[in-house]
Amino acid sequence: MVIGGIVLLYFGINYLKGLNVLQGRNLYYAVYGDVSGINDASPVLYNGMKVGQVIGTEMLPDGSGRIAVSFQIHEKQLQLTKDSKAEIFSSDFFTRSIRIIQGTSTEPAAKGDTLNGGAQLSLTETVNQQIDPLKRKAEGMLANVDSILTSLQLILNVDARKDIDASFSSLRGTLDNVRNTTQRLDALLAAETTTIHAALDNLNKVSATLANNSDEMGRIFSNMDTLAASLADGRLDKIMANVTATSDQLKATLASVNDGKGTMGKLMKDDSLYVNLNQASHQLDLLLEDLRANPNRYFSVFGKKDRLPKLSDADIERIQQSYQKQQTP
């Protein structure tokens, strides 16, 4: 009975661990630096299928702090290779498992071999890695927001708030002016609707007239093209050449006049003609004055002249001129 109890206890304990004592134990090992989430009876999966389970964990005696995990493969059809890998991963949100990744070697792994170990980050660690940068950024943003709010509190004092209120009041007045201007513009457009319609009608009539006289406009443009072609054919150059020649001749004539050449030049440069004309005019004035003062000197009705003629201004001037000449040495 004692032996039977011991046997039943042995089978019961292994059954509770998930081990089938009747099947052969294909034990393998893998070494990890961290076995978080792995314990006895953790499943061993291959392509999502459970092919075994963890039966124990033990610290290596070399003092490195690494942990050796032993697991059993009860699937006889699964043939592991030497370079197979036993990787710890998160099978769901809460469970960590070991999955077998077959290698490329053709040499099979013997029972008791130590496979390559590896571990993926848990979901919590992955989330923490994603959240930590966001957390740091959020903390920096909160610090910036706090600084901005502090600056705003310093800026928005009583005077600043009054200025802002005044600005809003001015803006409200500006909007009221814009609304009033819009209303007046609407009223103006409503009042001038007839005029605008008439202007548009006239514009339509002008457009229709142009469309109806398109042939004549075409002939006008054709004539303009012909005129432009004629001018471009050399006539314009000839006209410009004639104008240039005429301008040169005019310049030469003006230069001769300025130099005193020719009748016009002598008239402009020599003032003797003006002096003579001025003297003749003066002498004529004296003659007329003498004729008015002494008409009998020149003619008489009865054929007699005055014995004592009167001295006219002309006579006095001639006497003065004769006296001045005699006095001049």
The encoded tokens of residue 42 equal 């953790």
- Among 171, 71, 62, residue whose Cα is nearest residue 117: 71
Residue 224 DSSP one-character state = H
Band (pLDDT 50/70/90 cuts) for residue 41 is confident
Whole-number pLDDT of residue 289:
73
pLDDT of 13 over the 50 cut: yes
Mean pLDDT over each residue of the chain, to the nearest integer: 79
pLDDT of 210 over the 60 cut: yes
Whole-number pLDDT of residue 140:
83
> pLDDT (tens digit, 9 = 90+) per residue, 120-168?
876 676 677 777 778 788 888 888 888 888 877 777 677 777 777 788 8
Whole-number pLDDT of residue 325:
62
- Among 12, 74, 71, residue whose Cα is nearest residue 39: 71
Return the number of other C-beta atoms located less than 10 Å from residue 92's C-beta.
8
> pLDDT (tens digit, 9 = 90+) per residue, 46-72?
998 989 888 888 998 888 889 999 998
Which conformational region is residue 271 in: left (phi greater than 0), alpha (psi within -120 to 50 degrees), or beta?
alpha
Whole-number pLDDT of residue 90:
83
> pLDDT (tens digit, 9 = 90+) per residue, 248-296?
888 888 887 777 777 777 766 667 777 777 777 877 777 777 777 776 6
Q: Is the whole-model pTM more than 0.85?
A: no
Measured CA to CA, the distance from residue 160 to residue 167 in angstroms comes to 10
Quote the radius of gyration of the chain (alpha carbons, Å).
66
Whole-number pLDDT of residue 68:
92
Q: Are 42 and 11 in contact (CB under 8 A)?
A: no
Measured CA to CA, the distance from residue 270 to residue 260 in angstroms comes to 8
Residues 6+ apart with CB under 8 A from 90: 37, 96, 97, 120, 122, 123
Whole-number pLDDT of residue 11:
66
Whole-number pLDDT of residue 290:
72
pLDDT of 302 over the 60 cut: no
> pLDDT (tens digit, 9 = 90+) per residue, 3-12?
888 877 866 7
Q: β-strands 26-32, 114-119: how paired? A: parallel
pLDDT of 23 over the 50 cut: no
The encoded tokens of residue 123 equal 């979901």
Measured CA to CA, the distance from residue 98 to residue 102 in angstroms comes to 13
Measured CA to CA, the distance from residue 98 to residue 78 in angstroms comes to 15
Angle at 306 between CA 305 and CA 312, to 5 degrees: 115
Measured CA to CA, the distance from residue 153 to residue 167 in angstroms comes to 19
